[in-house]
A and B are shown apart, each in its own frame.
Chain A
Amino acid sequence: MPRGIKDEVAILGMGCSKFGERWDMNAEDLIVEAVEECLNDAGIERSQIDAAWFSTAIEEQHVGKSGVPLAVSLRLPYIPVTRVENYCASGTEAFRGACYAVASGAADIAIAVGVEKLKDTGYGGLPQRMRGAVADMYWPNASAPGSFAQLATAYSAKHGVKADDLKLAMAQVSVKSHENGAKNPKAHLQKEITVETVLNAPMVAEPLGLFDCCGVSDGSAAAIVTTPRIAKSMGKQDIVSVKALQLAVSNGQEASHNSWDGSYFMTTRRAAERAYKEAEIKKPRDEVSMFEVHDCFSVTELVTMEDLYLSEEGTAWRDILDGFYNSDGQIPCQIDGGLKCFGHPIGASGLRMLYEMYLQFQGRAGARQLADPRIGMTHNLGGFPHQNVSSVSIVGRYDA
């Protein structure tokens, strides 16, 4: 295994727009909102940025293709801007690009910016899109909730968990995230909900009801990264560094080979194994202080607990019902409210997760602040359970 980039990259500053139905904002405006905060936090000028990575997924809905929209929005001084897209994990891809540029020495300071303006379609849910000339001939007529709902039927069947028990645990996933989101002024949804509300909500894709699905919103988030040495030379204290960045991409085995049972993410397990190795974490259930997962749907979060090796296979639903992942539990999850409360402006989400980790390490998370977090993890997933990309990032205090 390669040596990785543990502690070679530090986060110099971060920013995050208010997420929500930003009817009065273009994507370009949201970018500026996140980047202004990010630049102020880092204490640098735009002219000090050597290179930029820009993530959007459904660019035809808002900014269009290429790195140009970012360069224009920020009037960047003709520096390299790379636009990245990797399904719903695009935000973490921008971060990876910026970190690798710094770790390689190609850039001293790099910025990652993600944005998505979803609320210009005229309807709820993610925009309907073509999937390519050949895929459109044989892929099913599926929505995102429909694709992820299948995890629940397969998980129930594999582990012998009754549908009602699973539905209850899934409800608790959403109730917990809303509890956390209610304390976050930047979240789209800031209201607590009850288990009854979740269980009685209209069915979107069986067994996922409305409150098993994350919101759809507009938003942007940004990170400026550099080396720990430069960060120190700029007088930064409480430095947050990158411990691991791993990505695993399906090669079609889940979709076309009968070795996969449909109840878990093959990709997340591979990415998590490699990330723990890169970060030198032996016992994740004991060592991880907090984490943000890609809770596009409640059941996604539930099975991801197992794929990240935090809950034993077949037991995440019990850990969830036991409050293990609540803000006062052993490993708080979705402390900021998660995709559930922030919604999922695709290109921004991975960076938004890192933003919460960063705030927590710096003791700036307000009402959500945890006591002395040392290692944080983010999990950013894109695609469908049977064909996806899964990103696992570990960040922490530089001295951790």
Chain B
Amino acid sequence: MMAIGKFSARRMAALLHKEMLETWRDRRALWMAVCFSLLFPVMIAGSTTFFVKKHAEETTRLALLGAERAPLLERRLQSDTLQVDALEQGEPRALLAGDYDLVLQVGDDFASDYRNFRTPQLYLYVDSSATAAGRAERHLQERLGSLQQLVAGQRLVARGVAPQLLAPWKLQVRDVSTPSGRGAMLLAMVPGLLILTLFVASLATSVDTSAGERERLSLETLLLQPLPGWQVIAAKTLSVASMGWLGALLAITAMVALMPAMPLAELGIQQATTTAGVITMGLVLLPLALLVAVVQILLALRSQSFKDAQTQLSILQLAPVTLLMALDMSRVQLADPLWQLVPLVGQQQWLKALLVGDEVSLPLVLAGSAASLSLVVLAVLFGARALRRESLLGAL
């Protein structure tokens, strides 16, 4: 028994060597994996930076018509976010079509009505179909609100009333979020994308090693070797998973490397991913990489052709992302320990926590990973049985 075991281990090593060589020799597949892995971290970092920069530089342009009737209004509205241009003449619609976000018109009798407590009107022209309309109106309301408060406060004081009488209470807000937790919103899509990377990076390899080998007729030769079927599937799984895992590791590294360049602090978000967290992220993805690889191989083996395999796997790669999104939106309590035993969901939850520097429970991670690994074993055994069917080779 010992001799046979040793013998088969050497055969296995040779097989694994062959599979790895085939996987890593395929430069096109490798480049695909690398490119996709780097693509999304760069996109997330880029869009965040762009968003923050745009948000910070955003100023509203306001055309003030009739400013000569209320010069103080012009002065008090002007701010970093609100640029006020006093115009002598102008047609609101034309101004809004031009450079201006808002047009504020001071009525003819504004000054005298104001002095006589007659509540003069201010006319605000907006184009509510413009994208910036809401923000522009908010900017104006902020400034106008503080001026209004100043006037109302002075009017009360003039009548001997403490202005605080208008504020019967003060609402104190207590925000229970943590600075790293605030990052969870921004980084929420990252775990899903990391998992997607696993699928995409190993796609070409898994099709090639199964349906591809069948079409090249080298699978038949392989099956003629005195090797148990599970070894064949396991070797293929390992080599495919190595590609997927590499892609995911690359993506994590790129993501974390780009984080310091992202303006997170401006958003009040703490960059909390630790080195230990990054290593853990890589490790929790390993069982998933194996599972993805074996499922892809099995699907590709039972497909009709190389093309059919590609189509099926392309559809498959959308499944996890869609599933995770659906679960997120259905507000299922995914943090529940039982959910963490489910492959995909468990990994997503751990990645989410690790990204924002939260701790994950070691027993749960081990149990969840064990669940994923046992699924891998089951799938390998299932694949081994399938290999014994002759129809598999004639699928052409």
Asked if A and B are interacting partners, one says no
Interface residues of A (CB under 8 A from B): none
Interface residues of B (CB under 8 A from A): none
